[in-house]
Each structure stands twice: as C-alpha cells, then as structure tokens.
Structure 1
C-alpha cells in the first residue's frame, strides 16, 4: 500500500482493530446461524399436531389421525403460519444435507470472489443475499433454498483468515484467532434457544423473519465499519496502522502456491487436527440432546439447558487461551502450539476414557459433567491448530482456512451418518463404541500435529523484503503526500 493511501490522523480512537474484531465475530456468527434456522424451526413446521387446525379437525384419536393424514397442509388460502411440511425421511435428509453441500460447492467460487473483490464488498453482498433468502424460506421450503444458504455461508472460514491477516498485529494473532473462531459457539447461543421459543410461542415463519432482521442489523454494521485496508478506515490513527502492518507483506493478493501448500506437512498437520477435532465436536452440537435424554434420562427442557452449558464455559476459556498464547514468552511458539493442541486433544481423550469406564448408572451428575469436559477443552484449539494455520500460511491464510472449511463440512457429513449407524438403540454400550472412536481420532490427529507442525511461515509464505509495508512513523512525509 502506498503512503498516499494512509490515514494522516494523529488523534481518533486507538483501538479500531478491536471494533473490527467484535463486529466481525458477531456478523460471522449470525451469518452462520442462518444455516441453522431451518433446523431450529423444523420441529414445529414438520409437526401437524402443532397446528391449530389439528384440534379443529380432531373428531377422536383414530379419526383425527386418518383425517390429518389426508389433509392438504399447503393450500394458498391458508395463512402461512398454519402451513405444515411433513417431510418423509428422504426429503428430510436431503434438506438437512443441502446446506452442507452448498458449503462445499461454494468454497472455491467464494474464495475467488473474496480474493478479487475483497472481504468488505463480498461479505456485504453475502449478508444481503442471506437476509433475503432467510426471509423467503417460509414460502419455499425446499432443499434448493438450503443449498443456496449453505453456498452463501461458504466464505465464513476464509474471511476469518482475511480479517486476521489484514487487521491483527503480529503479537495479537492468537487473540484474533480465539475470538473469531468463537463465532461457531456464539451462533448456538442465540438461534436454537430463541428460535425454538419463537416457533413454539409465536409461529415458525417468525423464526426466519427474526433471523433475517438480526442478520441484516449486523450486515449493516459490517458494511459501515469494515475496511479491507486498515489505512483506509475513517477512525484509525497512523500509529495503529503501523502497529497492524509491522512485519507483514503486501503479497496477499498473489495466487496461493497450491502445489506447495498441499505438499506441506506442516499444513497437513493443521488439516488433520481440524478433521479430528471437528469430527468429535459435532457430538455436542448435534447428538448431545439424544445422549442426555436417552442415556442420562433428562427431560427435553433440562436437556436444552445442558447443551448450552459447554458453550458458555468454552467462550471465556477460548479467549483466555488466545491471550495466553500471545503473552506467554518463556517457551517457544512451537512448544505453545503443541501444548495448547494437546490440552484439547490428549486431555479430552483422557476424559473419554473415564467416561467409558464409569457408566452413567453409577452417578448421573458426574456422568453429565464428564461428557461436557472434552468439548469445553476444545477451547484450547485457539492456541493450537487455529493459530498454527495463520502462522504457517501468513498471507495465504484465507485459502488455508477455506480448505479447513471443506474438511469441516466433510467431517460434519461423516459424523452425521456414522454416529446414528453406531447407536440405533442409543444405549450406553453403543455410545461406548463412539467414544472409543473419539479417543482414537483425537489421539492420532494430535500425534500427527505434534510431529509435523511448525511455528514459522512456510517457504511459500515468507515475507519479501521488497514488498513489506512501509512504516509511517519511521519516515515522516510532507502532509500533502498523505490521504486527506
């Protein structure tokens, strides 16, 4: 970036990067939660008995079932809130899988647009389109719509890499990684509980309308505050621009060296660790309600509360881990990456060992606490493979995060089909097999990470001395050369 494009402000707010960080994580969280909106509303929109029409037509238990099975739930003269869509098993599977497929299909097209247009414009358009699709979903319940919703959510992971590389000073990358990766937990704190309440107490279409409005609010915030170049921000000071750019390169617009990246063992250490931890992490996101009700015997109401406890505990721990990974200086960066990743994987695997050895019948309260611990410990990954991805790939972190996104979608699909096959009766004995697989996956993936990870830029990501950012504070220029 040339000197003339820099801000010449000496005053102003000196922590603009943290405003960008906060806006980014909330925007990405609610953009991601748009994918979850259908899952949240599905319980009501697919259940004929939840419609007021069910009681209206009820003539007795047997007659009601016969009558409602033949009833047309989607005529145009019915108010939308009274419509029901009783999908069969195949339709339900396709609809749920459509958003994952959309995420896979959209990764590389969105990465191309992100690279050539920039995060500000790309994500502004994505946000507007997501709001429109979310608001229109009630009138077109179809897998094709969920496919487009997933497609639009595809750039979320690449944008994390872009925001970190563009806005995080070298000494604060751990904090940025920790906060931005928390978008996954933030979206689960809002959409499932609030959406379920709205669907039950108001109606299911309102779930989509509220989600569209909230997403629109944060989209406007992104459009107004975010800038691809910190030097172009209307609030930033020259000192903060220099702090952000110190030690960085301008080569982020160059094409990633694909062959070098995919033959790099240090990057594969990141990929393998991501696959293992995301595969295991899906248990708490998707299958923990079934485990709490079927194995531990909790009611649906208590289960809803229990499923968000790990998320609430994980968020502050993730922030602490990110700050600690930046501030601890008595051990090497490589040692920190290995320690933080091992706290998540090895210690998590150890808790799973205890879980399979201590049946829930022994102490249900202890069993409940034990099953939460491995997922709370995933917070340490912010100082593990997440930070390693940025340290190794530097200006190519957007591309690397896009590959992490692809692997996360594949791990999600794999666990979605594998776990139900292993737990048809949902007994503790069947879940033991799943937990043994979790132990193996966490252990093997972390061993690979420990052996091959690096804490320095790969050869294909080294900073070019001729292409570094110039520091304004080192050589003051005449004021007419600075952007007015």
Structure 2
C-alpha cells in the first residue's frame, strides 16, 4: 500500500516533464542548424534580395546539391554507434557534446565558406551530420529512462515536436535575417542558440531519475516502479541480441514503417517545390513564410495530437497499442491521401499548397505512433533500435530524390509527377499496413532476460549527478 501511495504521489507535472522541455528545445536547436543552409544558400549565391555587403559565391546547381546533401552523408553513419554509446555510457553527455560541436561548426560556417570554398563547407556540413547522428538515439534512451509507459507517447511527442518548431523558426526568420543583418548571421544565431541550450542542459539535464538530484523520491519511485525495474542498482551492460532483433517481426515492421515514412516525408518536403515551380509556375522557396507554413502547421498539429493523446491516456478509452496504431494511421494515411490528391492538381496552386500543408501537418502524428514504439519493444536497447531504423529511414533521403530524377525527365509534365506521388502514397499505405499487422507494444523477450527483479524501494538516494552544479 505504501508503494502505491508513493507512486501515486509522483504523478502530475514533475522533473520528467522538465527533461522533456529540454529535449524539445534541444531538437529545435538541432533542426535549426540542420536546415539553415537550405535557406541561407539562396542569399549566399544571390545577394540581390539580401544584404549586399557580404560575400557572394558562384556555385552551380550541382555543387549546391552536394552541399545540401552533405549533412546526411555524415548523419547516417553515426546513427547505430550513437545508440550504442548512449546506452553504454549514458545519453546526457552524448547529447551535450553532439549539439556543442555542431553549434561551434555552425558558427564557423561563414569562415569555412570564405576560406575554403564549397569543399571546406562540404566537410563542415558532413561533420555536423556526424555530430547530430547520435542525437535522436540519445533522446530515445533518455525517454526510455524518464517516461512511465502510460505517459510515453505524450511526453515523447512533445519532445520531438521541437524539430518542427526549430524548422519553422529558421524558415520564417531567415529571409529577414539575410536582408537586415546578412547571411552569416543565420549561422551565428543558430550556433549561439545551440550553445545556450548546452549550458542549460549541462546543469539541469540527467540521463535517468537515479542520476538527477532535482527529482523527488515520489516521482522517481513512480517512474521506476512503472518501468518495472530499479535504476538505482548497478547498471548491467547488456549486449545487443542482434540475431533476435533482426528476426523479430515487430522490429522488422518498424524498419519498414520508418523507411516508408521517410520516403514520403522527403518527397513532400524536397520535391514539392520543384513540382510547384514546374507544373504550377510557382516557386515557394522564394517566399519564406509560405515555405514555413507546412512546418508551422506541423508544429500546431503536434501539440493538438499531444492533447488528444493525453485525454485518451487519462480516460483509458483505448489501449496503448491501439493508441500507437491509431496515430500512426493518421500520420501515414492522411499524407497518403494528400499525395494522391496532388497527383490530380494541375493548375490550382492554392489547392496544392493546402494539400501539401495537410500532408506535412498530419504526418506529425507519427511521434505518437511508430516513433516511440522502439521504447515499447525494448527499453534497454531503445537507442540502438532507433539508430538502426533511423539509419534505414534516412537512406531514403538519398534514394527518393534519385527515383524522382529517374521518373521526372520533364518537370513541366504533371503525368510524370503523378507517378512520383502515387509511389510515395503506396509506400505510406504499405508501411502503415505492416505496422498495423505486426506492430505491438509488448516488451520483447530479448529486452531483459532476467526480468524477475523487483524495484528496490528502500535505497533511493540519488547517485552522483552528472554535471550537477
């Protein structure tokens, strides 16, 4: 009875929600640094619509495509190692150093471009991708330690919605920054925001409740009891059971749904501008606010989905597994319908923008769907699992544009674009269908072989906090 009372007293707003806020701000900073080149490169190569007092570079489209893709060359490489390191040594400092070095490289970006040209800038962006590769696996490890299962979807969705917030912020303000202050300030401000976050995270972030001196005994006990294991006892370094992982139908469905989601995501966010310019005669890249509209809608819908999920969780209208599959269906099949609709839009620019915005906005529901399912399956290996599926998923950022280039030989031909949209829509449908069939929230047997241990509630003094003031 005492255990239940203490566990109950730990509920409500607490330090776990503060950790989620720090992750939200951290992902916002990382996405601002990730996408800033895509908007800054316009001013860097054409200063007619920007502050003319800064250097202009004469790069052709081939070089610009190399620069815009260079980040992901490094990003894919460190996904799996990032997950392993964060599990083995703690997620706090991998997240800290990843954002710290990325922020410093961002601040040095203007110097790289001026001193070493596009080659040094390419190397800088590749290094930034390497730095950010471990960030989302680290976040998954953190969430697996801090989130009670019944709150996991809501807390994780809020934390990851920072990516949309960071994107919309940099897209909406970059045009003004480039014209009023100059394009280098886009990188300076992005990098400084990352450094400020690092300062906050160093003193207030923690890898787990057991390593946090701010969390109350009640909240810590509630979290650890709900997770079914004590984080006070000496951590066991479990070897990843790769054979069992890659023969697990629920995990294989995660790889598929993550990959198909990213194919559709990159089709929506990287190819639609070319479609609108070629078919509709409208270049939305020149309008910062219009470019930011889908991301702004995505940010708003993320909060809306969090609110709905919170109600469903508190009222227990549906099971956790049903909740995952419901939101994943919304996040995949609504964008699927948007893509099908785009395939039949030929002259109505307003309709195309509306469909694009709906597709991107509703895709945010995936944060309550497959995105958090890695933790459900195996919280002890959540970082490695996400790193693995993220590695497969982000490779779609390479293959999807290649497929578009193969199919669309004439960007003014709407019939060719229709094929592109239908392929992406079909993959959205297939990925979610496999998740509905094989997906589960049941902990997998290979996650914790010795799971008969009970939580030690008698010794709950925090161990030495990481980087505590």
Change (3 A) 1:44 1:124: same
Structure 2: distance between partners of 1:46 and 1:171: 50
Indicate yes or no: 2:270 matched with 1:286: yes
State the 1:150 CA deviation. 0.4
Taking the aligned partners of 1:280 and 1:152, their CA distance within structure 2 comes to 25
Residue pair 1:352, 1:435 contacting (<8 A) in 2 also: yes
* Aligned CA distance change for structure 1 residues 347 and 308 (closer, same or farther; 3 Å): closer
Q: Secondary structure at the match of 1:460?
A: coil
Q: Check if 1:337 corresponds to 2:292.
A: no
Where does 1:320-335 land on structure 2 (aligned, <5 Å)?
320-324=307-311, 326-327=313-314, 329-335=316-322
Cα drift, residue 458 of structure 1 = 1.0
Cα distance, 1:210–1:371 mapped onto 2, change above 3 Å: closer
2:259 aligned with 1:275:
yes
CA shift at 1:421, angstroms? 4.0
Once residues 375 and 294 of structure 1 are traced to their aligned partners in structure 2, the CA distance between those partners, rounded to angstroms, is 21
Secondary structure of 1:409's aligned partner: helix
Give runs of aligned pairs for residues 217-236 of structure 1, distance below 5 A. 217-236=196-215
Q: Sort the Cα spacing of 1:468 and 1:422 in 2 relative to 1 into closer, same or farther, 3 A.
A: farther
Alpha-carbon deviations, 1:84-111, whole Å to 9, x = none? Answer: 2222344323222221010112223433
1:248 to 228, 231, 234: 228
1:387 equivalent to 2:354? Answer no
3-state SS of paired residue (1:334): helix
Q: TM-score, normalised by structure 1?
A: 0.82
Cα distance per residue 1:354-408 (max 9 Å; x no partner): 4434x344x5544432333232222322232123222112221111111122123
Regions of 4+ moved over 4 Å: 48-53, 296-299, 481-484
What's the CA shift for 1:436? 0.8
Q: Does 1:106 align with 2:106?
A: no
After superposition, what is the alpha-carbon deviation per residue over 1:320-351, rounded to whole angstroms, capped at 9, x for unaligned?
A: 35425634534443333333222222343234
Paired residues in the alignment total: 439
Tell me the equivalent position of 2:399. Answer: 414
Secondary structure of 2:140's counterpart equals helix
Match of 1:71 in 2: none
SS of the residue corresponding to residue 140 of structure 1 reads: helix
My pick for the range that moved more, 187-196 or 289-298, is 289-298
- Greater alpha carbon shift after TM alignment, 432-441 vs 282-291: 282-291
Deviation at 1:242, TM superposition (A): 0.7
Task: Give how far 1:232 is off.
Answer: 3.1
- Please give the per-residue CA displacement for 1:155-206, whole angstroms capped at 9, x wherever unaligned: 1220121121111112211112211222331221112222232122221111
| 1:168-317 correspondence to structure 2 within 5 Å | 168-246=147-225, 247-249=227-229, 253-298=237-282, 300-301=286-287, 303-304=290-291, 306-317=293-304
Asked whether the 8 Å contact 2:70–2:126 carries over to 1, the reply is: yes
- 1:124 and 1:50, CA in 2 relative to 1: closer, same or farther beyond 3 A? same
Identify which of 92, 96, 99 aligns with 1:124: 96
Question: What do residues 115-173 of structure 1 show as CA deviations (whole Å, max 9, x unaligned)?
Answer: 33322222222222122111111111221111100000001220121121111112211
Q: What runs of 5+ residues in structure 1 fail to find an aligned partner?
A: 1-9, 54-80
Q: 1:133 aligns with which of 98, 101, 105?
A: 105
Match of 2:305 in 1: 318
Q: Secondary structure at the match of 2:446?
A: helix
Counterpart contact for 1:353–1:439, Cα < 8 Å: yes
Change in 2 beyond 3 A, CA 1:103/1:380: same
Contact 1:174–1:325 at 8 Å: present in 2 too? no
After superposition, the Cα gap between the structure-2 partners of 1:435 and 1:215, relative to the gap in structure 1 and judged at 3 Å, is same
Residue matched to 1:96: 68
1:368 maps to 2:348: no
Structure 1 residues 147 and 325: CA distance shift in structure 2, 3 A? farther
- Greater CA radius of gyration, 1 or 2? 1
How large is the RMSD of aligned CA atoms in angstroms? 2.8
Q: Is the 8 A contact 2:92 2:138 kept in 1?
A: no
Unaligned residue ranges in structure 2 (runs of 5+): 1-8, 114-120, 465-469
Q: In the alignment, which of 349, 363, 377 is matched to residue 362 of structure 2?
A: 377
